Structure 1
Amino acid sequence: MAAKTVKDTKVYQLAFSLAMQIFQLAKSFPKEETYSLTDQIRRSSRSVCICLREAYRKKIYPAHFVAKVSDSDMENSETEGWLEFALACQYISQDKYDNLYDLSNQVGKLLNHMLNNPDKY
């Protein structure tokens, strides 16, 4: 059965969970990172969900749907990059990085499925 709203999709639920975990985690980042790493990782992780909402709003237009899902995938990839910086700067543990990266990877796989099968959404 197809999801009634984007919020009912597994990809949205996982992406939202990832964004909220990152939001909580970023509270512990140093103040000097406020306008760089902290803001950027929060923005990109949230944008995954926002782009999905935009995709679903106009899913009757396949090209628009694919473009916005592609944007969501791009934001997810950016989030992974910021997670790498957080790890390298020792703001997060390897275990926390591994867990968040795994969640992001799951989101990426689901987004890839959406990109390759837009008619199923």
Structure 2
Amino acid sequence: MGNFRTLLIWQKAMLLVTQTYNATKLFPKEEIFGLTSQIRRCAVSIPSNIAEGYGRKSNPEFIRFVNIASGSLFELQTQIEIALNVGLLNEVDFKNLYENTRELEIMIVSFRKKLKENL
């Protein structure tokens, strides 16, 4: 399987981290320890958990970490919607982020299914 960097879900998650950081750059300074930090932590958690799970060298462990990454992804979807609702995120950035999270969500579901088939 190579290494975790060859996984499309990891690559897509890394792009999502960059996009998330760029979208939150203009959030007000008073949000740095609030929603800005929370959104960024969720985004970073996704590829980090995929990489950690890969390193466990066990399909059941990998599935567990992919599930954690999936939970972080859902958390991110919720938080960007909150940011939109309170006026921190504009509609265009929200739409781009949300569409990318949905694409990654579909990829993760498919990847997890393949891992389960190989148990």
Q: TM-score when scaled to structure 2? A: 0.91
2:61 equivalent in structure 1: 64
Q: Match for residue 5 of structure 2? A: 7
Aligned partner of 1:105 among 102, 105, 109: 102
- Which residue in 1 is equivalent to 2:35? 37
- After TM superposition, the structure 1 stretch with the greater mean CA deviation from structure 2, 110-119 or 71-80, is 110-119
Q: Distance in 2 between matches of 1:33 and 1:27?
A: 11
1:91 aligns with 2:93: no
Per the TM alignment, residue 88 of structure 1 is displaced from its structure 2 partner at its CA by: 0.7
Report if aligned partners of 2:70, 2:108 keep a CA contact under 8 Å in 1.
yes
> How far apart are the structure 2 equivalents of 1:85 and 1:100?
13
Write the letter of the residue equivalent to 1:20: T
Using the TM superposition, give the Cα deviation of residue 58 of structure 1 relative to its aligned residue in structure 2, in angstroms.
1.5
RMSD, aligned α-carbons:
1.3
TM-superposed CA distance for 1:21, in Å, is 1.1
Distance 2:61 2:17 in 1: 24
Q: Secondary structure at the match of 2:33?
A: helix
Match of 1:27 in 2: 25
Q: In structure 1, list runs of 5 or more residues that go unmatched.
A: none
Provide the C-alpha distance between the structure 2 equivalents of 1:58 and 1:109, rounded to a whole number of angstroms: 23
Q: CA deviation at 1:24?
A: 1.8
Q: How many residues align?
A: 117
User: 2:17 touches 2:40 (CA, 8 Å); kept in 1?
Assistant: yes
- Give identity over the alignment, percent: 25
> Which ranges in structure 2 are unaligned for 5 or more consecutive residues?
none
